[in-house]
Structures are given as C-alpha cells and as structure tokens.
Amino acid sequence: MEGQVVIEKFLKVTKRVGSCLHYLGFIQSNGYGQFRKPGGKMELAHRVSYEIFKGPIPDGMLVLHTCDVRHCVEPEHLFLGTHKDNFEDCANKGRVSPRFDNKNFPKSYDDTCRNGHIRTLENTKVRPDNRTKRPVYLCLDCKKISDKRFWSAESKEKRRLRLDKKNLARRDKNQARLLKQIEEAKKAVPQPFDSAASAHPPALPPQSSYQASNSLQASK
C-alpha cells in the first residue's frame, strides 16, 4: 500500500513530453530532479523512478539516461552503469559535461586536459568525489609528470630544507617556552632566610603626639 502511494505521488509531478517523462518537481542547478521519499529523505528523481519501476540499485552504480535529458524519469530511458560507463557514454556521444570536470581539465568541451594531453579512456582515471560522489576524471599523463617532479632530487632537497626550517622554528619555540617556565619557577621559589637582617629589625616610624598619648594611657 505504501509503495502504491509513493508511485501515485511520484506520477503527479511528471508530464509526458514526446517519448520522455519529464519531472516537474524540484530541479537542481545541474538539471537533475529531486524527489522527497517517505521519511523526508531527498533522492534524485531518476533514481527513484528506476527503483519504483525496475528494482533496487546496487551500491556504487549510477542510473544513466539514453535520452540525455537529466530531468527525464521515463523508466525505458534509464539503465545502470558505472562511472566508467558514464564517461564512455559521454565520449561516444561526443560530449563531456563541464560540470563533471575537475581542476585538471578545462571548463569546456575540449578533448584535451589543461596541459594539452589528449583525453582518452586509456590515460583517464575515473573515481567518485569524496564529498559529492560525482565522477572525477584524472589525466594519468599529468599524474606521471607530477610524480616524476615530486620524486626528483631537486624536489627532495627542497622538501628536506623546508622540513629542517620547520624543525628549527619548532625547537626555538620550545626553548623559549622552557626558559619562560624556568623564570616563572624562580619567581615562585621563596627567598632564603637572612639571619643578619633579622638581628637588626627595622626601626618603627616616629609616632605623633596624639598616638604617643593614647599609647601611654593604654599602658596605665
């Protein structure tokens, strides 16, 4: 019964446009729709459509479109695939969405990375982003150059000098803190007893005539 209620609620916010079934609810800035499932959890509309009409989605799998309409929820236009399948589908159709590019690739539809390497399936690594879980495409040619530069003798020497500088600064800071603690400890130690000073106590200040008369009366 609950599943039927979800289906009816979902179909109320859809509209048939040609062969596609467009989602009329909340649309994200990237073009994908969002549907609130029972319990208040928000889920991508095309993933909800696949789960309702085709079945559960295995972990780590994406729901791809054959029609390339992001807010389309037509079950016949949806199929499962990995991040690599998604990239291959984009490459076969001659497009790569700039929203899925990371800093290694220009924000354009070029087939080269930022450093000019031709983007192919062999020199491109696809991995999900740790925060957004979206696919990130890494140029392996750029990574090889970066690794070679990182492990070069010059780079090692620079890292060693940088580490030595940090260690010296840390040592100076610790020494200054230790000296400060020693000075504070010295101030807290009581002064030694001076016998010579105790044998000759300091003279009392002179009393006024009024104070003298009061003391005399008190003694009587």
Residue 76 lies in a domain: yes
Q: What is the pLDDT of residue 50?
A: 92
Distance of CA 5 to the CA centre of its chain: 38
Which pLDDT tens digit goes with each residue over 167-176? Answer: 999 999 999 9
Residue 204 lies in a domain: no
pTM of the model: 0.45
Indicate if 107 and 164 belong to the same structural domain: yes
Q: Are 32 and 71 in contact (CB under 8 A)?
A: yes
Which pLDDT tens digit goes with each residue over 141-188? Answer: 888 888 888 888 888 888 889 999 999 999 999 999 999 888 888 887
Domain boundary among 38, 65, 81: 81
198 pLDDT more than 60? no
Indicate if 110 and 166 belong to the same structural domain: yes
**Range list of H helices, the chain:** 2-11, 45-53, 83-92, 140-150, 153-188, 195-199, 209-219
Q: What is the pLDDT of residue 67?
A: 86
Pairing mode of beta strands 26-27, 33-36:
antiparallel
Residue 136 lies in a domain: yes
Indicate if 57 and 68 belong to the same structural domain: yes
Instruction: Name all contacts of 14-18 with Cβ < 8 Å and 24+ positions apart.
Output: 14/73
